[in-house]
Structure 1
């Protein structure tokens, strides 16, 4: 590709965000990659995904949003579908052999992949088109001789350094020879595409470094590896999104189902989801982090997350409707089962009521709660101490207190 036909943005602040947001590690070094990005040379970035299921989930969106940032800088982007490697089965983080898929199963799974990924990446950009490729184009043509040649670049000891393999050997669980071929095949993708940078989750580090080895061997070329953060519960270390476990929030879901599923994400994962799965600026997310660290109910912030994500894929109107459905079908239903009814006089103010409930020690503290956005009526923040209540309203005070209101006449 001719650099002169593509304007490369070398803005340092944009490069710094691209090299830090959702980034776990950059190999061989962040400094060297930043230098390349500031040189004005157009780099080729690629990301591979195996169609082992029929949907792309929010955990994958981390990588596509990262590619979007590099695409905005003017670089060449390739999305690679591992239609051949999916038939081998990626052993990364697997305690047993991954079930091998047939060619027919793989083709069925990938039918809507481009459409789903296209909700994030613009495949119709005429000025800097994003390329969509399949690794069967070259891997299916490799001969047995070619495979032996590839394998000669690695030792069994190197393969057994992989944590997943090491663990299976220690536990005397079967480790199949064909599983060693997966990192060779993924590594060869880098050679076939002649890339400069590969992007992938931290669970792909071994495979991506295999590509770095092969690119040096066959093209005498350095390849950078960017590993991205995985969406995990920081309290347990468990993945929040997994195709294998069926816990992913699929990009193919409708607005309502997507909103409802996001509301089931652990509170501990809210902040990372804002960083990895939205287009909000890091400045905006920093303010959200402050609210999470304060006394604000995380459920309300999670609703903002769900609204933001659903808006990205279905538009703001659909997100608003989905939120209303969630409040109606889930939130209010759960509250009605758990909360007590409180009576309020016809002319009693909300400040007087809060003070009377012994949640705070004075009317002044009640006013402060309102100013701190800690008081809500039917999930809407109370902005004035003159707010009125009617029978049936749900009054939230802070994180822990909720009451159903019953207005009594004088």
Structure 2
């Protein structure tokens, strides 16, 4: 049973530090019913989670089935500093009101994946505010600047003479101190968090917690472009709160190769079942689109329900196979005339007028299902169905 649990825990994992400790925790649970604590921290810098975040959440859900109490840590204190991981410039600080609002949104979303009866939602302001100035000064003595500059993103910025604030040096120390305060047995994070995760192990040792957390690192899920990690800022994400039709369509838009990565990291199917599906596609027994539809149905069902998933599939087929319009299109109105590029932005189906112009050049923009080629087109009084690509639609009434 322990080996079976370890196999499921290791599925899709990029790296584990201290496997022996995890095996001992599992042994204590299966033989003695003793629970253990798994920490994962989320800085509420945006109100919504995307599928990249759920890679971590789903692994936490697996651990819950194997005796873990998940400590879902919302970094309301550290979120006001901003995690510098992977950043080439100092991040803007968030005000407390925004952080707390985003935190509430997180809490609503995580229980679509995690078992609420085996989850403790925690806020690190509870102990970090109590730490006070003297405690933070003491914390800074546990690590030196030379070691801090070994961190890749800091090293790059230092060499390029880009500014690094002292608060950013504090971030990994404060994240590590979270592990001291929470006395967790395992900490989870993405591969880009390795420096911070190891800091937790070191500080547990420094502060004589009596344990050193094991570390489980998950790979970063590629976004819809198949190149960059999933990110809202890059626009290549699938949001947990996306509408069923949007979620379904986005999954269908990924490449056939990327589909298997999504199956491994997002699907609840066993690795054996996924391997069988992959073989069926490779031999022509199953069309890749059918395999992708099955994945999309599974994911939309998880975050919505089966009826909405089936309705999303039907609408997708109507729009893309029969060239019909979606049944639910958001409506907008404006005074005219209006430039087409601005109209697409105002109707929230394009992020900028420059992107609108690029989409028009590439033939991705339609009005009333007819392609638009004129970048300077002015829309006069009337009603229009605007479309960008295969999934973005809006009704515009020009007054």
* TM-score > 0.5 by shorter chain: yes
* 1:224 lines up with 2:214 in the alignment: yes
Correspondence 1:176-255 to 2 at 5 A: 176-218=165-207, 219-232=209-222, 237-239=227-229, 241-255=230-244
Secondary structure, counterpart of 2:67 in structure 1: coil
Q: Which residue of the partner structure matches residue 74 of structure 1? A: 67
User: Distance between the aligned counterparts of 1:77 and 1:208, measured in 2?
Assistant: 16
Secondary structure, counterpart of 2:323 in structure 1: helix
User: Distance between the aligned counterparts of 1:319 and 1:259, measured in 2?
Assistant: 8
Determine if contact 2:64/2:115 at 8 Å carries over to the other structure: no
| 1:26-56 deviation digits (Å, cap 9, x = unpaired) | 11x3244223322334221111111111101
Q: Which residue of the partner structure matches residue 86 of structure 2? A: 93
User: Distance between the aligned counterparts of 1:237 and 1:282, measured in 2?
Assistant: 24
Return 5+ residue gaps in structure 2 as ranges: 325-399
Q: Which residue of the partner structure matches residue 119 of structure 1? A: 112
* 1:142 lines up with 2:131 in the alignment: yes
Determine if contact 1:188/1:214 at 8 Å carries over to the other structure: yes
Q: Which residue of the partner structure matches residue 311 of structure 2? A: 321
Secondary structure, counterpart of 2:236 in structure 1: coil
Q: Which residue of the partner structure matches residue 17 of structure 1? A: 8
User: Distance between the aligned counterparts of 2:105 and 2:39, measured in 1?
Assistant: 20
Report deviation, 1:24: 0.7
Return 5+ residue gaps in structure 1 as ranges: 1-9, 335-410
Change (3 A) 1:106 1:74: same
User: Distance between the aligned counterparts of 2:307 and 2:225, measured in 1?
Assistant: 34
| 1:189-227 deviation digits (Å, cap 9, x = unpaired) | 101111110011111111111111111111242110100
Report deviation, 1:309: 0.5
Q: Which residue of the partner structure matches residue 343 of structure 1? A: none
Report deviation, 1:234: 11
Greater Cα offset, 200-209 or 172-181 = 172-181
User: Distance between the aligned counterparts of 2:172 and 2:243, measured in 1?
Assistant: 35
User: Distance between the aligned counterparts of 2:217 and 2:135, measured in 1?
Assistant: 28
User: Distance between the aligned counterparts of 1:276 and 1:146, measured in 2?
Assistant: 40
Secondary structure, counterpart of 1:284 in structure 2: helix
User: Distance between the aligned counterparts of 2:149 and 2:43, measured in 1?
Assistant: 23
Determine if contact 2:225/2:236 at 8 Å carries over to the other structure: no
Correspondence 1:5-404 to 2 at 5 A: 10-18=1-9, 20-27=10-17, 29-40=18-29, 41-123=34-116, 125=117, 129-218=118-207, 219-232=209-222, 237-239=227-229, 241-295=230-284, 297-333=287-323
Greater Cα offset, 36-45 or 106-115 = 36-45
Report deviation, 1:12: 2.4
Secondary structure, counterpart of 2:222 in structure 1: coil
Change (3 A) 1:331 1:47: farther
Determine if contact 1:198/1:225 at 8 Å carries over to the other structure: yes
Aligned-CA RMSD value: 2.1
User: Distance between the aligned counterparts of 1:102 and 1:179, measured in 2?
Assistant: 16
Report deviation, 1:139: 1.3
Q: How many residues are aligned here?
A: 318
**Which one has the largest radius of gyration?**
1
Secondary structure, counterpart of 2:14 in structure 1: strand
User: Distance between the aligned counterparts of 2:55 and 2:85, measured in 1?
Assistant: 18
Secondary structure, counterpart of 2:130 in structure 1: coil
Change (3 A) 1:294 1:230: farther
Change (3 A) 1:292 1:81: farther
Query: What is the TM-score when the length of structure 1 is the normalising length?
Result: 0.73
Change (3 A) 1:138 1:280: same
